[in-house]
Chain A
Amino acid sequence: MNKDHKYFFVRLGAVLVLVLCLSIVANILLYPALKLTPWSWGAELVDSKSHQLQNPNGKFNAVVLGSSRVYRQVDPQVVDSVTDGKAETRLFNLGANWLFPPESFYVYDHITKNENGHYDYIIIELAKVSSVDFKNLHTVRTIYWYNLSDLIFAITASWNSNFSIIEKGYNTFVHLIGYTDNIINLGYITEAVRYLNAAHSFDQKVNGNGFQFLSVDQNEADMFEEENTAKRNSRFLRDTSVVTKRSEISRKQFSKYSDNPKLLKSYNIYYSATLKKMITDAQKKGTQLIFLLSPRIDKKQYDELIPLFYSLPEENRIEISDSRSYPELYLAENSFDATHLNQKGSRIYSRILGEKLNDLVILKRRP
């Protein structure tokens, strides 16, 4: 390498280092000081809902958060009616499409940081650590929530999971990209301006308790459903056997672990430890943190989640997923599509959740 070559790399390096340093300074000092965007700005629905949740007039003492399986299936009105006189919940549904860990943990951290953020119960849907589709890289939704601890959690949990080596490598890669995008503020001003222009109409889009069941009729009014739900529904109605297959997967997976309990010991130790720490921290604040195992998960996720679920303390977990125990949640008549329940199904599911919450209260009171 001659002098010219060295000079080129020194200059290129200097530009990159300067850009990186100035970006980090802007990320840590400048943009937070400008207060252009709140913590939830990158996920429209989470933003609207958290705004509503933190409204002191809401007086919610319980929150459930997770993906569309929570957003579309947990009806707080039904849950509250079942827990009336027992668990006494006034539940808010903070579910949103594709809200999986670590993003859901980021949301959890922020709602409990708030001055109105004391809740008796917080229920988080248990899911594998999410990855990011390559085509979705650099979008706000895959950038806004990253911080160093979430990055470390995502990568470490992924490497401790039962994923293949390729998946682990890919997950590490996309999470590093997302984190880098976050610290260099990729497209931040453009997106922040877009957010500021749109934010004023958010409150009109969310029901009082955050719940919105899936329905073909409501599609046009539903601002947050990016996928064409009507198409999904009609595809499902053409062939409802997919839900039977899901039921079979659930039955086989739960049977596998109940027949051979030794298999339950092969859980993701790092992920489990993180959840247990979250439970302990929540307890200190007087909150019972509960992890919810939803129905109709795929085979691979069951293999990750069933052992993880049973590694948690009994009073901090609710399972409404086993098709042997809840066959009604796998019936076509209660389904909207292959993975979601319809309004009727969501009422059944919410009622079960309410009963399970009551059971946990009894369990907790036991000496």
Chain B
Amino acid sequence: MLFNSFEFLIFFIVVTVLYFTLPHKYRWALLLAASCIFYMFFVPAYILILFFTITIDYFAGIFIENAKGIRRKRFLWLSLLANISVLAIFKYYNFINENLTNLFGFAGTENPIPYLHIILPIGLSFHTFQAMSYTIEVYRGHQSAERKFGIFALYVMFYPQLVAGPIERPQNLLHQFHEKHSLDFIRIANGLKLMLWGLFKKIVIADRLAPLVDVVYNDPTQYHGWAVILATCFFAFQIYCDFSGYSDIAIGAARVMGFTLMTNFRTPYFAQSVSEFWKRWHISLSTWFKDYLYVPLGGNRVNRSRWFFNLFITFMVSGIWHGADWTFIIWGALHGVYLIVAIISQNTRSVMMKSIGLKEGSHLSNFINTATVFVLVTFAWVFFRANSLNDAVILIQNSMVFSGSGLIEYISANGWQTVVLAFLFVAFLLITEKIMVNQSADEFVNRFSQYTRLAIYVIISLLIINFGVFGGNNFIYFQF
């Protein structure tokens, strides 16, 4: 079920009303049933995979807590192995096999390993990572094992964040299912405000930009120069609005029912460095990798070369997490390289800035930093969005060719009105986020007077209704 669908609107209203109508002791059961229905709207049978990992991790948590010494570690590894195996089979098996086929091809033989004809379960990487964080935290002693199976299942399956996060930690979410949430209309109003803003970003901006990106990326040889550059910039905003829009709706929907989910985005395109970008983009995933991979590898408390290795590996794995394709691996690796180069060049950059008279923290220096980060991040998005590595290379080559089908052909193919509207909405987003900086939509809007707030709600609603794209477009991150 998509957040931007009519079915979800009905589902959300019904579930929320029932949630507050039912006595506290039955609410978890309602949420679990609702989450099952929500998930089964995609491919019903895949709920069995979910229950497989839930069962494994539920018992693993209890066994880890009850065990002592080396046995604790064994149970943890068993749980991690089960989770990673599910990921490996459904997400990476065919990718690995495809690469083996290429290797066998080089050797002049045929790959005897058969391919699997399976569909990737929706949001698999999200709920698997959330389940893994539970067993790791129980092992570390930061979280006690959940004894109630239903509550644990709900922790993994909670519908607002089931298919695209935020990837929660048990310390933040699990205890909330035991707590009684009363009907708090201020909280409900704040949740609805977040949902409205998320819907605006998804329906009005992301889905409007999608065809403008697709036209270039689905036919990479067709366009050159500014057309490729513009489509890539549009993708930067499409993926941001799509994913942060989803997160806002998820956080808002949970908040309406009294649950607090972690912030997932904080105006990332205003970051002053790539490192800061990762503190503002998909925060729940970047902190997951930091806590469970980067720090255990030694983080930055090791020698310089090992530190760089840790950074590079963490971002490579982050790339693989996103998708089983070399494009994602290169995207992750690029970000790893950006961070390493940023560390190496830190002193040189400071000297350069001083030599041209640029004061650190000045408006101009901030602008240059933000623009540089945007260019770097957007360049990496080429690999993220391209349909294949070959396509990515063609697009990068074509972006530097300023002859042939360029901007004029791109605008005439899409219609100038479509391009102008896209520009206007991206500008609107940037201005709004610049004013918002470090505040969520509800916090921002609450600063205004009652009548200004009313006007904002009405204007945003009218923009969604009149300028929205109502085709039930999927969210990009569902594929992960």
Contact = CB atoms under 8 A, between A and B. Distances in A.
Interface of A: 4-5, 7-8, 11-12, 14-15, 18-19, 22-23, 26, 137-139, 177, 184-190, 193-194, 196-197
B462 A19 contact: yes
Contacts of A196: 415, 417
Given A4-B185, A186-B470, A138 B6 contact: yes
Interface in B398-426: 414-415, 417-418, 421
B465 A186 contact: yes
Given A4-B185, A11-B189, A138-B6, A197 B465 contact: no
A186 B472 CA distance: 13
A67 to B, nearest CB: 24
B444 to A, nearest CB: 17
A15 B459 CA distance: 10
B461 interface: yes
Contacts of A139: 470-471
Given A187-B468, A189-B467, A197-B417, 19 more contacts: A4-B185, A5-B185, A8-B188, A8-B189, A18-B454, A19-B465, A26-B466, A138-B6, A138-B470, A138-B472, A186-B465, A186-B468, A187-B465, A187-B466, A187-B467, A187-B470, A190-B469, A193-B415, A197-B415
Contacts of A193: 415, 417-418, 421
B127 interface: no
B427 interface: no
Contacts of B435: none
A70 B462 CA distance: 39
A176 to B, nearest CB: 12
Nearest to A2: B185
B448 to A, nearest CB: 13
Nearest to A137: B6
B186 A190 contact: no
B387 to A, nearest CB: 23
Q: Which 3 A-B pairs have the closest CB atoms?
A: A197-B415, A8-B185, A187-B470
B189 A197 contact: no
Interface in B183-206: 183, 185-186, 188-189, 192
Given A11-B189, A193-B421, A197-B418, A18 B458 contact: yes
Contacts of A4: 185-186
Contacts of A187: 465-470
Contacts, number: 70
B414 A15 contact: no
B366 to A, nearest CB: 35
Contacts of B467: 187, 189-190
Contacts of A11: 189, 454
Nearest to B414: A197
A187 B454 CA distance: 22
Contact of A185 (B457, B458, B465): B465
B208 interface: yes
Contacts of B470: 138-139, 186-187, 190
A88 B468 CA distance: 49
Interface string B436-480: 000000000000000000100110011001111111100000000
Q: How large is the interface on B (under 10, 10 to 19, 20 to 34, 35 or more residues)?
A: 20 to 34
A188 B456 CA distance: 21
A15 B461 contact: yes
A8 B187 CA distance: 11
A137 B469 CA distance: 13
A184 B458 CA distance: 13
Interface in B115-137: none
Contacts of A177: 6
B472 to A, nearest CB: 8
A14 B458 CA distance: 9
A79 B140 CA distance: 83
Given A8-B188, A8-B189, A14-B454, A23 B415 contact: no
Nearest to B450: A11
A190 B208 contact: yes
A15 B454 contact: yes
B453 to A, nearest CB: 8
A186 B470 CA distance: 8
Nearest to A18: B458
A232 to B, nearest CB: 24
A12 B454 CA distance: 9
Nearest to B469: A190
Contacts of A7: 185
Nearest to B183: A5
A147 B205 CA distance: 30
Contacts of B461: 15, 19
Contacts of B469: 187, 190
B462 A22 contact: yes
A367 B167 CA distance: 82
A125 B454 CA distance: 49
A56 B415 CA distance: 30
A320 to B, nearest CB: 38
A194 B454 CA distance: 31
Contacts of B415: 193-194, 196-197
25 contacts: A4-B186, A5-B185, A8-B186, A8-B189, A12-B192, A15-B458, A18-B458, A19-B462, A19-B465, A22-B462, A23-B466, A26-B466, A138-B6, A139-B470, A139-B471, A177-B6, A184-B465, A185-B466, A187-B465, A190-B467, A193-B415, A194-B418, A197-B414, A197-B415, A197-B417
- Residue of A139, A184, A187 with most chain B CB atoms under a 10 A cut-off: A187
Nearest to A188: B466
B465 A23 contact: yes
Nearest to A6: B185
A186 B421 CA distance: 17
Contacts of A12: 189, 192
Contacts of B471: 139
B458 to A, nearest CB: 5
Nearest to A7: B185
A5 B185 CA distance: 6
B40 to A, nearest CB: 16
Nearest to A15: B457
- Residue of B192, B415, B466 with most chain A CB atoms under a 10 A cut-off: B466
A269 to B, nearest CB: 33
B254 to A, nearest CB: 18
Contacts of B208: 190
A185 B461 CA distance: 12
